[in-house]
Amino acid sequence: MPLQNLPCLSLQGSMLSQSKKINKRKSRDCCLSEGLDMECTPTEFIQQWSPHHKHQRLISKGKENNSNQFVLARRSRRKKESTSCISWDHLPDELLLRILFYIPLQDLLSMSIVCKRWHRLAFDESLWHSVDLEGLTQMGPALQQVLKNGVRMLRCPRSFVEELHFTVTGPLQIVRMDLSSSIIPTSSLESIICHCRLLEYLSLEGLQLSDTIISSLSMNPNLLQLNLSGCSGFSAPPLADMLKSCTRIEQLNISWCDFNNNHVKSVVNNVSSSVTHLNLSGYRESLTLDDVKVLVTRCSHIQALDLSDSTLLMADSFPVLKQLKDLLHLSLSRCYHIHLAALTDLGTTFPMLSLLDVFGIVNGSHLSSLKKEMPRVSINSRPFSSIARPTPVTRPIGNFMWNKKCQLRFKV
């Protein structure tokens, strides 16, 4: 090839190369334009929702129409929801109730004001199965709310309850209740007991009662343990009717009540024949040998019997008590007409006897000699009776009553 033709070829090649680049760019622009048209994607929409941190590239459709521009932008991918963190709102009620079961009472009440759902769950009956309100003051509204929530075990001894306006019309679900040594108006107690039909364990120790309360207890035929120690304010006829109706009573503590001989006779003549633990202590001039004879004849399965402070009883009661073949625990403390010599024969009179309480009768050296005479019997080891009491006096266990633990407890 002639040398003079080289510049022309070079220029022509350069022009051809440049022309190819322009055509290639136009072809690519057309494809992009057609692609966006096919997707029906407005420019403004892409500009609005494209992430700001992404680099946006402006492309024009040629020099002849600079005003018509579109944007190239990468659409952000939708992030997958993290499976490691689960919202409380996604948990079913059953699982939330299981969690709330372990939360203290104060925290449960605080949670109830978070939202409507948590309020509904916080007052679910399953969480209020057993409640301990021991020692609270001015607990009238709280007690009413707890009873409405369907509580089945209620422990609130030594509490102060003001006048209670109980509005529940149907029967309560309560099965175990301890109101021992509480300060509660008789009318308020009546409004509670009158709605009880399922009671099995009840302690009203030291309370002022009424004939209405005793009559209402007759509507609880499943009553197994009843503690009325130190109670007053009721007459003998309602007591007799109640004991006739509650035929399943196994443990009855009716010691040191405001009784006369008519009350005592109502007990021995009507208490359930299936009773195994009975405390009739404290009736110095009211309990007679004839009453003991009636009691032993009717209730031959007694295992624990407390006749302490019955000053009319003497050694002639032992042949009568001998009929109790299953007797394991006998209390005759402060029965001053029973002499030491008569006590030494109790080991052979009661072959099953393992516990004997004779406080006030035997002391000092006489106690040591009596223990030698009765080596297999534990003497004066139980100063306080535990019959029908919700918590043993000698070793009280907080938050427990009748060997059952209360789940919700208000900590003072």
Q: Is residue 278 part of a domain?
A: yes
The CA-based angle 369-305-378, given to 5 degrees, is: 30
The model's pLDDT over 263-290, given as tens digits with 9 standing for 90+, comes to: 999 999 999 999 999 999 999 999 999 9
Residues 6+ positions from 232 with CB-CB distance below 8 Å: 208, 209, 257, 258
- Higher-confidence residue of 343 and 41: namely 343
Please give the tally of structural domains in the chain.
Answer: 1
Structure tokens at 7: 């510049």
Q: Is residue 18 part of a domain?
A: no
What pLDDT band is residue 106 in, cutting at 50, 70 and 90?
A: confident
**C-alpha span between 314 and 310 (Å, rounded):** 9
CA-wise closest residue to 223 among 404, 384, 402: 402
Confidence (pTM): 0.75
What pLDDT band is residue 82 in, cutting at 50, 70 and 90?
A: low
Q: CA quadruple 360, 361, 365, 367: dihedral positive or negative?
A: negative
> What is the secondary structure of 288-336 as a DSSP string?
-HHHHHHHHHH-TT-SEEE-TT-TT--GGGHHHHTT-TT--EEE-TT-T
User: How confident is the model at residue 85, as a pLDDT?
Assistant: 67
The DSSP H or E segment spanning 364 is helix 364-373
Residues 6+ positions from 149 with CB-CB distance below 8 Å: 123, 125, 128
CATH of the domain at 295: 3.80.10.10
Q: Is residue 166 part of a domain?
A: no
Q: Is residue 50 part of a domain?
A: no
What pLDDT band is residue 130 in, cutting at 50, 70 and 90?
A: confident
**Would you call 131 helix, strand, or coil by DSSP?**
strand
Residues 6+ positions from 326 with CB-CB distance below 8 Å: 276, 301, 302, 303, 352
The CB density around residue 224, as the number of other CB atoms within 10 Å, is 21
The model's pLDDT over 15-29, given as tens digits with 9 standing for 90+, comes to: 445 445 545 555 555
pLDDT average, residue stretch 334-362 = 90
DSSP 145: H
DSSP 378: E
Q: Answer yes or no: is pLDDT of 57 > 70.
A: no
**C-alpha span between 24 and 33 (Å, rounded):** 14
Range of the domain at 290: 199-390
> What is the secondary structure of 208-270 as a DSSP string?
B--HHHHHHHTT-TT--EEE-TT-BS--HHHHHHHHHH-TT--EEE-TT-S--HHHHHHHHHH
Q: Is residue 145 part of a domain?
A: no
Residues 6+ positions from 268 with CB-CB distance below 8 Å: 280, 291, 292, 294, 295, 298
**C-alpha span between 190 and 193 (Å, rounded):** 5
Q: Is residue 295 part of a domain?
A: yes
Residue 114, φ and ψ in degrees, nearest 5: -70, -50
The CB density around residue 87, as the number of other CB atoms within 10 Å, is 6
Q: Is residue 31 part of a domain?
A: no
- H helical segments located in 78-139: 93-100, 105-111, 116-122
Residue 172, φ and ψ in degrees, nearest 5: -80, 160
The model's pLDDT over 351-388, given as tens digits with 9 standing for 90+, comes to: 899 999 999 999 888 899 999 989 999 999 999 999 99
Q: Is residue 183 part of a domain?
A: no
**C-alpha span between 139 and 411 (Å, rounded):** 14
**Would you call 358 helix, strand, or coil by DSSP?**
coil
